[in-house]
Chain A
Amino acid sequence: MAPNIGSKVILDRSGLDRLIADLRGRGYRVIGPVLADSAVIYDEIQSAADLPAGCRDDSEAGTYRLDQTGEPWLFGYTLGVQGWKRHLYPPRQRLFRAERGERGFRLLDDQEVEAPLALLGVRACELAAIQVLDGVFDHEGFTEPGYLRRRQNAFIVAVECGHAAATCFCASADTGPAVGQGYDLRLNEIAGQGNWLFVAEAGSEKGLAVLAELPSRPASPDQIAAAAAQPQQAASQQSRQLKDDAARVLAVSTESPYWDKVAERCLTCGNCTMVCPTCFCTSVEDVTDLAGDIAERWRRWDSCFTLDYSYIHGGNVRSKAASRYRQWITHKLATWHHQFGRSGCVGCGRCIAWCPVGIDITAEVRALADAERGR
């Protein structure tokens, strides 16, 4: 029997291989979790053999370790180091090339054609992050065509979390761990007692067309219940919480003396912005060939933690670390609401794990609230 949208079926290991092969056959570049430099990152995969079998990440403030459990899980880790933004809005993008002429210059029309992306292993918080980026790159008459093209053409395979890292706080950010809307396929990986399989469900016509081609069988009530229990378990494991009134706390903390306390620890390295799945700031770079006849403009990710970011003739607007940390967290949790109608934080906790000094966004909001009450 062919599955319907929303109906749950079982895929086994060969089904997952078929899924990846089928997506590749349809012309997708399949991006999934892979092991690199003792970490899970999202990169191109050829088959399920590329997935990080048995890996579990152990994150704390300022800490990330990857353990090999020897268990059969392919999606036993929680998150890749960087989100899917890396593929939907790459760190370096060429804007144009231009060629000098006898007089003046002209633009060269030679943009490369990119294969559509299939994203395998998108977590609930990451799907929320993609939806946050949708709001950034398509708002108030502005559209970013490169992002929108990749986004519209992308095939999203969400994999629900059955386990939370210590840095996770998606439950309090209201983005997970259950995967809501916006996926083409949703998988739950079930392992144990000699079983190892996926409960799969299509969330779109596009997803259904792919799922219908795969060898599957209907899921049993027990298997459906086991899948449904996974996000509940991941939620119950979360001890970190983002305060509900974070936006209000930031709004009244502009002149808080507490910023200097954060600045005593913040190295302004920009790691938090590089791993944040919603940070969207970019800069531009201009290069020419040696003869100076061909010029290129590149857009690259930038960070509000750099001095250069706020440079105008006469100086840098935000010269102090305190001002730059204030800008980052205020934008993420407060002014994002003014700009895009929601918070910019999805609760993935990457900024906590990858901060070299372990600055914790959830703890800083609490400390600001305490400082505000104490004033």
Chain B
Amino acid sequence: MIALPADPMLPRLFDVLKVKRELADTFTLELKSDGGGFGFQAGQFNMLYAFGAGEVPISISGDPGKPGTLVHTIRAVGAVTEAMGRLKPGDTLGVRGPYGTPWPVEQAFGDDLVIVAGGVGLAPLRPAIYQALANREKFGRVSILYGARSPEDILFRKELEQWRGRFDLEVLVTVDRVSGNWGGNVGVVTKLVAKAGFDPMDTTAFVCGPEVMMRFAVDSLEKRGVSTDKIHVSMERNMKCGLGVCGHCQWGPHFVCRDGPVFHFDEIAGLFSVREL
């Protein structure tokens, strides 16, 4: 008889250290466990459990170089994420993970790096940005192309402004709808792909946002000449386990929780265009 492993459906308990309001419906939790740090790779996610409310998959938005604390940025869109929005420092959150495939940051060394994010899709990409900046000399040009619904919906705005102030980083931001005294780009994020300064022959692209935005972003990257074998996208599906056993996240032959969420575009190109797959 083989010794049975611990139940992977049981969460580890983390204390909430800090809660930061990011946007009207979006907040960032900084968490710490009793039992040491939390190593992860950029692009991975955790299943987060709020007491009595439920569990949801949320990507990790912190710095993979700083595993001492665990950082999640969450948009409140349902009962569980709203319960997480009510957490205060000292409260407990259940954590299972990290799960899923990472952004292949190291494989992109030597290339220009283009990061295309839409809305809260910037959160799963932030760890990759941190990792790229920590290894800045290993890349050619690095561009961050970000689209938000309105100026009030720009996530990590201070950080984006800081990054835009660097001489070794191109940051382009656009909004779908203008409000207030916005003087920046207006239109969908895919338009920024045409503007950004990268050499398509030697470019790796990471794309995360709503599925329709990713479809157009990949199209415009391809139009600029970026090879599809260097485009990576992060998919979202319903997930109940994170382990490839609840079945919900299936997409063709893939369990998005295990074979993704980050996919090499080449391996899913055939699935990407099928409706309701």
Contact A152–B51 (Cβ < 8 Å): no
A104 CB within 8 Å of chain B: yes
A86 → chain B closest CB, angstroms: 17
A36 CB within 8 Å of chain B: no
Contact B248–A310 (Cβ < 8 Å): yes
Question: Which of B1-9, B163-171, B195-203 lies on the face that meets chain A?
Answer: B1-9
Report which of B4, B54, B238, B246 forms a contact with A310, defined as CB distance below 8 A: B238
Provide the residues of chain A in CB contact with B54, threshold 8 Å: 284, 286
Provide the residues of chain B in CB contact with A281, threshold 8 Å: 246-248
Bound-complex Cα distance A33 to B94 (A): 41
Interface bits B46-60 vs A (CB < 8 Å: 1, else 0): 000101111100000
Bound-complex Cα distance A299 to B29 (A): 27
Provide the residues of chain B in CB contact with A299, threshold 8 Å: 9
Question: Interface size of A by Cβ–Cβ distance < 8 Å?
Answer: 55
Bound-complex Cα distance A137 to B7 (A): 12
Provide the residues of chain B in CB contact with A107, threshold 8 Å: 10-11, 13
Contact A331–B243 (Cβ < 8 Å): no
Report which of A105, A139, A282, A313 forms a contact with B78, defined as CB distance below 8 A: A313
Contact B276–A95 (Cβ < 8 Å): no
Beyond A149-B4, A317-B238, whether A331 also contacts B250 by CB under 8 A is yes
Contact B248–A283 (Cβ < 8 Å): yes
Bound-complex Cα distance A312 to B57 (A): 11
Provide the residues of chain A in CB contact with B8, threshold 8 Å: 142-145
Chain B CB within 10 Å, residue with most, of A105, A288, A323: A105
Contact A105–B51 (Cβ < 8 Å): yes
Beyond A143-B4, A281-B246, A319-B276, whether A295 also contacts B52 by CB under 8 A is yes
Report which of A98, A103, A106, A322 forms a contact with B91, defined as CB distance below 8 A: A103
Provide the residues of chain B in CB contact with A297, threshold 8 Å: 9, 49, 55
Question: Which of B123-131, B146-154, B252-260 lies on the face that meets chain A?
Answer: B252-260
Contact B53–A286 (Cβ < 8 Å): yes
B39 CB within 8 Å of chain A: no
B26 → chain A closest CB, angstroms: 12
Secondary structure at the B interface, as helix, strand, loop or mixed, is loop
Provide the residues of chain A in CB contact with B244, threshold 8 Å: 139-140, 142, 339
Report which of B2, B51, B55, B243 forms a contact with A100, defined as CB distance below 8 A: B51
| Apart from A142-B258, A152-B1, A309-B248, 11 more pairs, CB < 8 Å | A98-B51, A98-B94, A101-B92, A137-B245, A143-B5, A280-B247, A284-B55, A310-B248, A312-B236, A313-B75, A335-B252
Contact A142–B237 (Cβ < 8 Å): no
Report which of A95, A149, A323 forms a contact with B9, defined as CB distance below 8 A: A95
Task: Name the interface residues of A134-151: CB closer than 8 Å to any CB of B.
Answer: 136-137, 139-140, 142-146, 148-149
A327 → chain B closest CB, angstroms: 7
Provide the residues of chain A in CB contact with B277, threshold 8 Å: 254, 317, 323, 327
B24 CB within 8 Å of chain A: no
Bound-complex Cα distance A184 to B197 (A): 68
B174 → chain A closest CB, angstroms: 21
Closest to B54 in A: A286
Closest to B247 in A: A281
Closest to B91 in A: A104
A196 CB within 8 Å of chain B: no
A25 CB within 8 Å of chain B: no
A334 → chain B closest CB, angstroms: 8
Bound-complex Cα distance A72 to B240 (A): 47
Interface bits A77-113 vs B (CB < 8 Å: 1, else 0): 0000000000000000001101011011111000000
B253 → chain A closest CB, angstroms: 4
Report which of B52, B236, B247 forms a contact with A282, defined as CB distance below 8 A: B247
B225 CB within 8 Å of chain A: no
Contact B7–A145 (Cβ < 8 Å): yes
Contact B92–A335 (Cβ < 8 Å): no
Contact B245–A136 (Cβ < 8 Å): yes
Closest to B248 in A: A309
A320 CB within 8 Å of chain B: yes
Provide the residues of chain A in CB contact with B255, threshold 8 Å: 339
